[in-house]
Every structure is written in C-alpha cells, then in structure tokens.
C-alpha cells in the first residue's frame, strides 16, 4: 500500500479513540464516520451498511460539486438495498457537498481528485484491513472520475470492479452524443405523435448545434448544448416518462446529519477550472482508456439526455476488459438519475453484478 498522508493517519487515530479501537468494525449494520484531511481539504467519509461482508462500494457523486452524502440521505430506497449486503462508502469531494477547507485553484484539477480518491482507498485499507474488496462506482462526473482513476493499472489493481452509472467519460464527445441522442429520441417521439411540435423544435436546435462542428468543446462553448439539454429534460418531464422517488429533506438532515447550508456554500466554489480541466483531459482518456481491464458494468437511463447512453457505448468499445466481463444495461424508465427514477431496479442490477465478481 502507498504511504498514507500523516494528517490522514492523525484523523484515523482520533476516530479510533472516539469510537473505541476495533469495536463493531465488522457487523451487518454499522455506520462509521471518518474524515480525511489531505492537501487543505477535509473530506467527510460515511461508511454505512454491512461491513461484515468486507466488501466496500465507493460511490462517487456527480457534479463536479454534488454530494455523496445526498445519496445516503435522499435516495435510501436505492442505497439501503446495497447496504443490506455490502458496505457503502460515501465521501464528498473537495469543494463539494459538506467537505471543508480553503479553496485553492491550483488543486481544483482532475489529477488532484484522482489523488484524493487514492487517499480515501488508502484510508479504507488502513481502517478495515488489506483483505477487504473495493468496488468503485460513480455517477455522472463520478463516472468520469472513477474511469480516470482506473487508467493507471497500479491504482486499478486495488479495485475489483467498476460500475459506471450515467458517466460522462469523454467531455467533448458526451456533448456531441447528447445532441445526437436528442435527435434520435425526437424522431421516435415525433413518429409516436408525442408532443411533436416541441420535439421538432428541440431536434432542430440539436441538429444546429452539431452542425457548428465544435471540437474540442470548452467551458464557454458548452453553454449552448447544456441549454438544449435542459430544454429536452423539461420536455421529458412534461411527458411524464419518468418518476422521481426521493426521501424527505427532514429525514436527510435529522437522521443522516446532512448539512444543507455547508453544501450550499460549496456550491459557490469556482467550478470553471475543473470543468475546463475535464475537456483538457479528453486526449489522455482516449489514449489510456484501453488500459482498463476490470469487470465493468455500465448503467444508463434510456431518457438520459444529460449524459447519453452513447457514452456507455464508448466505454464498452474502448476498454480492454474481456467481452464476457463487461455489460451495458439500459434502464427504460430512467433519466440521468436512476437512483431516483428506478431505485430498486438499479440496486438489483448492481447487486446481481457484484455477486458475479466478488
């Protein structure tokens, strides 16, 4: 195992003192709260569920700027299913969720987020032992981050499987994929007579954006495709194609210690740099994604126009995982957030996959 940051060890020792060394570390229903202090950021890590399994599923949140604590607070219909079998690990990334620390623009990079994730994995091995197994799953930007982490075979060797949930893996291509997917959806809906005039308008806008032939995109030029995506999402919502199932804000705050004011403060952190860095990372992703050989499950919502399923196909076509160990699942009644749209089906899909590879 790589050397642990000394401050991280200090936080770990404080946790042991507070909780009592080795008390209830492994049980079928536990909740552990840890903090990782690394390069100016204090990252909250909640380990929840069945640690007796010695399987730890790290869930990387979206954004950049989302919150893993939100998954453990507002989508417990999804996460509780997995926690009954395995331990879930929720950590808020630097400058996101309820993380703390002074903002440093030079550390708001893809490379730093990869390093942070590496330290989280270090801490899990230190806390729970070298015989645990780690599954890495990420949603949206978390799908990108988990994929970026696995480009290094040494880091990938610390993980047993990758679960990519609606991941935006290639920043420039995913905007083009969104536009093409909106066009394809529009053609289908127009043929079925569903809100044809609105779909025709969206289709024309998406076609016009593709005709601009921008490559690569950047932080400024992404605004127009994101505007079109937002309009398409509103149309899908108005069509009653997907349902939202989320838990109450009261339960999230009172029972799960979610702190909305801290999360709101982090929303004001400068996101421009990290988003531009994602665009700049595209050539490196293209050049190295074939390094990934882990068993890989891609899950995308049929109605996801924010990160089109075409991104899942990019992963399937690009990684070197044997065909028998990679899978692509489309959830027919989900958009960009299947943990809200189809929480039980999403959980069951993941559990079935983990049973095969753990």
Tokens representing 235 are 């149309």
Largest Cα–Cα distance in the chain?
64
Q: How many helices (H) and strands (E) does the chain have?
A: 15, 9
* Mean pLDDT within 94-107: 89
Tell me the C-alpha distance between 27 and 280, whole Å.
43
Q: Torsion angle of alpha carbons 145, 147, 152, 154, nearest 10°?
A: 90
Q: Of 206, 167, 124, which Cα lies nearest the Cα of 292?
A: 167
CB 272 within 8 A of CB 219: yes
Is the pLDDT confidence value at 257 over 60?
Answer: no
Mean pLDDT of 211-225: 95
**Scanning the structure block, which residue is given the tokens 């988990």?**
146
Q: What is the mean pLDDT of the chain?
A: 89
Class of the CATH domain delimited by 6-170+244-357: alpha beta
> Tokens for 259?
């702190």
Percent of the residues in the chain that have a pLDDT greater than 70, as a whole number: 86
pLDDT band at 13 (very low <50, low <70, confident <90, very high): very low
- DSSP codes joined into one string, 81-140: HHHTTSEEEEEPPTTSTT-EE---GGG-SHHHHHHHHHHHHHHHHHHH-TT-EEEEEEET
3-class secondary-structure state, position 296: strand
Q: State the average pLDDT over residues 213-218.
A: 94
For the stretch 307-322, what's the b/e string if a residue is b when 16 or more beta carbons lie within 10 angstroms of its beta carbon?
bbbbbbebbbebbebe
Nearest to 37 by CA among 60, 15, 63: 15
Residue (of 43, 36, 30) closest to 14 by Cα position: 36
Q: Which of 6, 133, 142, 114 is nearest to 57 (CA)?
A: 133
Between the two ends of the chain, the Cα-to-Cα distance in Å is: 21
Q: Does the structure show a pLDDT above 70 at 260?
A: no
List the beta strands (DSSP E) in the chain. Answer: 30-38, 41-49, 55-60, 87-91, 100-101, 133-139, 161-165, 296-301, 326-331
What are 129-167's pLDDT values in tens digits? 999 999 999 999 999 999 999 999 999 999 999 999 999
Listed by start position, the domains of the chain span: 6-170+244-357, 173-238
70, 67, 33, 27: which is closest to 49 by C-alpha? 27
Read off the pLDDT of residues 283-319 as tens digits, 9 standing for 90 and up: 999 999 999 999 999 999 999 999 999 999 999 999 9
């Amino acid at each position: 195992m790589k050397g642990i940051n000394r401050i991280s060890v200090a936080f770990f020792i404080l946790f042991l003192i507070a909780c009592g060394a080795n008390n209830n570390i492994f049980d079928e229903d536990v909740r552990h709260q840890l903090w990782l202090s690394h390069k100016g950021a204090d990252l909250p890590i909640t380990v929840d569920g069945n640690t007796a399994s010695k399987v730890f599923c790290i869930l990387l949140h979206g954004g950049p700027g989302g919150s893993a604590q939100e998954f453990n607070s507002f989508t417990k219909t999804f996460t509780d299913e997995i926690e009954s079998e395995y331990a879930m690990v929720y950590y808020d990334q630097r400058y996101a969720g309820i993380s703390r620390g002074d903002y440093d623009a030079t550390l708001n990079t893809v490379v730093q987020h990869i390093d942070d994730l590496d330290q989280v994995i270090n801490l899990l091995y230190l806390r729970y032992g070298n015989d645990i197994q780690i599954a890495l799953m990420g949603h949206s930007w978390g799908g990108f981050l988990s994929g970026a982490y696995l480009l290094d075979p040494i880091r990938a060797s610390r993980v047993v499987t990758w679960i990519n949930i609606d991941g935006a893996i290639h920043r420039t291509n995913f905007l083009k994929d969104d536009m093409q997917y909106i066009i394809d959806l529009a053609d289908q809906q127009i043929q079925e007579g569903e809100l044809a005039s609105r779909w025709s308008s969206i289709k024309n806008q998406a076609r016009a954006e593709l005709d601009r032939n921008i490559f690569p995109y950047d932080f400024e030029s992404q605004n127009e495709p994101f505007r079109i995506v937002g309009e398409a999402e509103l149309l899908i919502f108005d069509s009653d194609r997907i349902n939202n199932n989320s838990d109450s804000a009261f339960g999230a705050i009172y029972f799960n210690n979610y702190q909305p004011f801290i999360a709101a403060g982090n929303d004001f952190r400068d996101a421009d740099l990290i988003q531009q860095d994602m665009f700049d990372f595209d050539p490196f992703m293209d050049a190295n994604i074939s390094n990934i050989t882990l068993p890989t499950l891609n899950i995308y919502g049929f109605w996801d126009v924010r990160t089109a399923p075409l991104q899942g196909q990019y992963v399937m076509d690009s990684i070197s995982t044997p065909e028998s160990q990679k899978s692509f699942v489309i959830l027919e009644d989900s958009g960009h957030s299947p943990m809200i749209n189809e929480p039980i089906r999403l959980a069951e899909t993941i559990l079935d996959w983990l049973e095969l590879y753990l």
